[in-house]
């Protein structure tokens, strides 16, 4: 659940082979009781954050987010998805606390399969858990020739306030749209939170001891906060995409409510806005349990010749790449181009992780009788 890719930090990084990291993460999930194939799918989803430059949503969350879900019995490693209602092109699924890193991909694949038959497929999911980078899952649809859409609320976790409100009522409520961009071009992959940034970026800055710019957090009175640790102290509230009300905050807030309706209200999942949010001093409350998400797939080939669609897509996205830049050496791109460049570099030269994370992965590996992969020689 992310915004956009950002450059990997340098100076304290090591490079590790992708296959070795995938094997390790798979083994860790399998050791928690996930069937091997599911563990591998979950590991691939987790690593997507690291290989595409969105490291706040990658391996750093293995011990901070996903393993605690198992340890606290908030995720069931062996749970199967349960179809609750099936209306052919529309399906309601109970994820039954299965790990979202795997379940979201399954929901997207189901939506694509239905779209192949009906032109559009919608899978509404309740009982979900955190699924990592939404773009990883929507990109699965692109590989099968479809346009993929994924929206997720944050269950009953409340960390952002309605504009003008005192109580936190909503989560980051991310969304992703992915589409083929034509032959030879990276797919279009939009992956964003409806808040100015996701919580992962704030916590990444806190771990690194960096301040954050104004516009990410505000205090209870609406004043800017530049200390990232204020988020987990309950003294900082995420701001909406658009910033303040006068600069467009109602757009981010409105999008968050769109996600809440389509992802959670339709599915019957846990909702952010609820009376219990009014207790206390208005600080962030609740946990991201019973997450709702919506996986939607659209088959352009059901409506027009596939070759025509791909030709038009190539013309559209190539035109963006050909747009004259304001500064030489800073070419124009579109969501998905930077991520594709990071992934190519990571797979060729190794995945960049911090030395601290490398040490942490070594400790995790020891707990299951394994070893962290060796550093790739420069």
Are the C-beta atoms of 325 and 332 separated by less than 8 Å?
A: yes
Q: Does residue 1 carry a pLDDT above 80?
A: no
Inside any domain, residue 176:
yes
Order of strands across the sheet that contains 224-225 = 224-225, 217-218, 237-238
Q: Do 42 and 26 belong to one domain? A: yes
Claim to verify: residue 263 and residue 346 sit in the same structural domain: yes
The answer on 257 and 358 residing in a single domain is yes
**Residue 8 scores a pLDDT above 90:** no
As a 3-state breakdown, the chain gives helix, strand, coil percent values, each rounded to 5, of 40, 15, 40
Nearest of 241, 236, 230, 234 to residue 285 by alpha carbon: 234
Q: For residues 32 and 116, state if they share a domain.
A: yes
Give residue 214's domain range: 204-238
Spatial contact of 136 and 174, defined as CB atoms under 8 Å apart: no
Looking at residues 359-373, what average pLDDT do you find?
96
What pLDDT is attached to residue 9?
41
pLDDT digits (tens, 9 = 90+) for 272-293: 999 988 877 888 888 999 999 9
Residue 259 shares a structural domain with residue 114: yes
Do 126 and 267 lie in one domain? The reply is yes
Predicted local distance difference test score (pLDDT) of residue 378? 65
Q: Which residues contact 100 (CB under 8 A, 6 or more apart)?
A: 128, 129, 130, 131, 132, 291, 293
**CATH number, position 314:** 3.30.1370.60
Beta-carbon neighbour count of residue 303 at 10 Å?
10
Q: How confident is the model at residue 6 (pLDDT cuts 50, 70, 90)?
A: very low
Determine the pLDDT at residue 208. Answer: 86
Q: What's the whole-number average pLDDT of the chain?
A: 94
156 within some domain: yes
Which segments of 63-133 does DSSP mark as H helices, in order?
67-71, 100-118
377 part of a folded domain = no
Q: Are 137 and 131 in contact (CB under 8 A)?
A: yes
Where is the domain boundary, 188, 217, 238?
238
26 part of a folded domain: yes
Q: Domain count for the chain, please give it.
A: 2
- 2 in a domain, yes or no? no
Residue range 40-53: average pLDDT? 98
The pLDDT, as a whole number, for residue 4 is 39
Record the pTM: 0.94
Element (H, E) at 48: helix 36-51
Per-residue pLDDT tens for 297-329? 999 999 999 999 999 999 999 999 999 999 999
Are the CB atoms for 134 and 141 separated by under 8 Å?
A: no
Residue 273 to residue 331: CA distance in whole angstroms = 41
What is the reported pLDDT for 320?
98
**Same domain for 46 and 192?**
yes
User: Quick check: is 375 in a domain?
Assistant: no
Per-residue pLDDT at 279: 78
The residue ranking higher by pLDDT, 254 or 221, is 254
214 shares a domain with 134: no
> Within this chain, do residues 100 and 80 fall inside the same structural domain, yes or no?
yes
For 298, the 3-state DSSP assignment is strand
pLDDT at 281: 81
Residues 187 and 219 in one domain: no
Q: Are 180 and 186 in contact (CB under 8 A)?
A: no
Contacts of 72 (CB under 8 A, 6+ apart): none
Which DSSP string corresponds to 148-206?
Answer: EEEEE--TT-B-BPPTT-SS--B----EEEEE---TTSPPEEEEE-SBSS-HHHHHHHH
Q: Residue 37 in 3-state DSSP?
A: helix
pLDDT, residue 283, reads 84
Are both 102 and 112 inside the same structural domain? yes
Q: Which is it for strands 120-128 and 90-94: parallel, antiparallel or unpaired?
A: parallel
Do 256 and 233 reside in the same domain of the chain?
no
pLDDT for the residue numbered 3: 40
pLDDT in tens, 17-29: 999 999 999 999 9
How sure is the predictor about 119, in pLDDT bands with cuts at 50, 70 and 90? very high
Task: List pLDDT tens digits, range 192-245.
Answer: 999 999 999 999 999 889 999 999 999 989 999 999 999 999 899 999 999 999
pLDDT at 74 over 60: yes
What integer pLDDT is reported at residue 10 of this predicted model?
A: 45
Confidence check: pLDDT of 108 > 90: yes
């Amino acid at each position: 659940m992310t915004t956009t890719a950002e450059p990997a930090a340098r100076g304290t990084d090591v490079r590790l082979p992708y296959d070795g990291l995938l094997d390790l993460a798979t083994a860790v999930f399998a050791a928690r009781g996930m069937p091997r194939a599911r563990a591998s799918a979950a590991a691939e989803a987790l690593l997507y954050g690291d290989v595409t430059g969105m490291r706040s949503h990658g391996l750093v969350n293995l011990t901070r987010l996903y393993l605690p879900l198992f340890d606290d019995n908030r995720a069931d490693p062996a749970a199967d998805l349960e179809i609750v209602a099936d209306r052919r092109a529309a399906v309601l699924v109970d994820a039954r606390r299965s790990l979202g890193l795997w379940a979201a991909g399954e929901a997207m694949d189901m939506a694509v399969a239905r779209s192949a038959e009906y032109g559009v497929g919608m899978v509404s999911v309740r009982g979900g858990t955190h699924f990592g980078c939404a773009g990883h899952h929507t990109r699965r649809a692109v590989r099968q020739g479809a346009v993929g859409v994924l929206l997720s609320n944050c269950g009953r976790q409340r960390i952002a306030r309605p504009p003008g409100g005192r109580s936190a009522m909503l989560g980051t409520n991310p969304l992703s749209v992915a589409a083929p961009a034509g032959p030879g071009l990276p797919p279009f992959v939009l992956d964003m939170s409806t808040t100015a940034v996701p919580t992962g970026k704030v916590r990444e800055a806190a771990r690194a001891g960096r301040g954050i710019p104004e516009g990410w957090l505000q205090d209870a009175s609406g004043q800017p906060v530049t200390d990232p640790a204020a988020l987990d102290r309950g003294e900082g509230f995420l701001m909406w995409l658009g910033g303040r009300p006068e600069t467009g905050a109602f757009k981010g807030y409105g999008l968050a409510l769109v996600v809440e309706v389509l992802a959670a209200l339709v599915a019957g999942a846990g909702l952010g806005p609820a009376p219990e949010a009014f207790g206390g001093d208005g600080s962030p409350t609740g946990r991201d349990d019973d997450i709702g998400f919506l996986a939607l797939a659209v088959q352009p080939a059901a409506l027009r010749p596939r070759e025509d669609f791909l030709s038009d897509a190539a013309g559209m996205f190539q035109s963006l790449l050909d747009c004259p830049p304001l500064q030489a050496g800073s070419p124009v791109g579109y969501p998905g181009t930077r991520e594709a460049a990071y992934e190519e570099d990571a797979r060729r030269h190794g995945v960049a992780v911090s030395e601290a994370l490398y040490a942490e992965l070594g400790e995790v590996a020891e707990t299951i009788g394994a070893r962290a992969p060796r550093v790739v020689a420069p």
